Amino acid sequence: MKYKLDKGAHSVYSLQYHLIFVIKYRRKVFDSPAIVDFLRQKFHEIASNLDVEILVMEPDLDHVHLVFKATPVLDMTRFINVLKTITSREIKRNFPAVKSKLWRSQFWSPSYFLATTGQVTLDVLNKYVEQQNQ
């Protein structure tokens, strides 16, 4: 089983995540290429400041998907809150017309979806672990 591994001072790891943010009440905000480009730029800027690598980012009209790599020391809650806070504030500041599409000026829904992803399926990993005792 071959992995593409990252290394730290005392660790070897492979951590990828799938994150989804939804606009509050699914308002259709990402309907302009300028807003989408701005969102991409901000996500990449924030991620790079927190030592996170965004692998894929795709917004739809009312939500955005991110696939990213992180280190084991990443404070995930802080990372997610920083992404949501800064992008909400900056999009509303730079694109004031967006505010009319929002409910009470609230940009992101307070909830989100986060899942770990891997380089192999869970079934393959389970089989590999089970065979270690043989």
Active site residues: 128
Q: Which SS3 state, helix, strand or coil, does residue 119 take?
A: coil
Total Cβ atoms within 10 A of residue 74: 16
Contacts of 23 by beta carbon, 8 Å cutoff, 6+ apart: 29, 30, 62, 63, 102, 107, 108, 109
DSSP for 28-68 reads ----SHHHHHHHHHHHHHHHHHTT-EEEEEEE-SSEEEEEE
Please give the angle made by the CA atoms of 41, 42 and 48, to the nearest 5 degrees.
90
| Residue carrying the six token digits 């660790």 | 11
